[in-house]
């Protein structure tokens, strides 16, 4: 999934459907218009070197309780702009909640935070273990 938008736009909406007892894998590429050496503008990956990622799933917006903190399940691909969420089956197996909301914050070295994406989270209950 690619997001090509200026940094001033709203976070794009993307709902997550996580299957309990299964690995969850989702990758995004952050693209942004940039001026290149010849002065023209091209849509290129944002260099995520030095960025940190925070993704928390909560029951509803502004809830104080966290259903799952997926921040440690995110890998940032540096100059490729690729953001990968990889939640192992061992973690999804522990989910006892079936719905929530999330957002994904990316923070650069200067401390500027960007809400990259947001949406609803649905967990599909598993039967086989």
Q: Residue 51: inside a domain, yes or no?
A: yes
10 Å CB burial of residue 51 (0-12, 13-18, 19+) is buried
Residues of the domain holding 89: 2-6+16-124
pLDDT in tens, 2-61: 555 555 556 899 999 999 999 999 999 999 998 888 889 999 999 999 999 999 999 999
10 Å CB burial of residue 26 (0-12, 13-18, 19+) is middle
10 Å CB burial of residue 21 (0-12, 13-18, 19+) is middle
Q: Residue 11: inside a domain, yes or no?
A: no
Q: Is 91 left (phi over 0), alpha (psi -120 to 50) or beta?
A: alpha
Residue positions counted in the chain: 129
Q: What tokens were used for 118? A: 């947001």
Q: Sign (positive/negative) of CA torsion 97, 18, 54, 7? A: negative
Q: So what's the pLDDT on residue 3?
A: 57
- Residue whose token pair is 């809400």: 115
Specify the pTM.
0.87
What's the chain's average pLDDT? Answer: 93
Residue bearing the bigger pLDDT, 118 or 128: 118
- d(CA 119, CA 72) in angstroms, rounded, equals 19
Q: Residue 129: inside a domain, yes or no?
A: no
- Residue whose token pair is 């960025």: 51
Output the domain CATH number for residue 72.
2.60.40
> How many domains does one find in the chain?
1
Q: So what's the pLDDT on residue 4?
A: 53
- d(CA 114, CA 92) in angstroms, rounded, equals 27
């Amino acid at each position: 999934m690619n997001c090509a938008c200026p940094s001033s736009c709203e976070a794009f909406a993307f709902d997550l459907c996580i299957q309990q007892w299964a690995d969850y894998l989702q990758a995004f590429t952050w693209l942004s218009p940039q001026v290149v050496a010849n002065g023209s503008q091209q849509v290129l990956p944002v260099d995520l070197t030095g960025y940190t990622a925070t993704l928390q799933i909560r029951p509803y917006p502004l809830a104080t309780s966290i259903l799952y903190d997926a921040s440690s399940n995110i890998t940032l691909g540096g100059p490729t702009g690729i953001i990968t969420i990889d939640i192992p089956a061992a973690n999804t197996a522990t989910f006892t909640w079936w719905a929530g909301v999330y957002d994904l914050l990316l923070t650069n070295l200067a401390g500027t935070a960007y809400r990259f994406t947001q949406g609803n989270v649905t967990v599909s209950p598993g039967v086989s273990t």
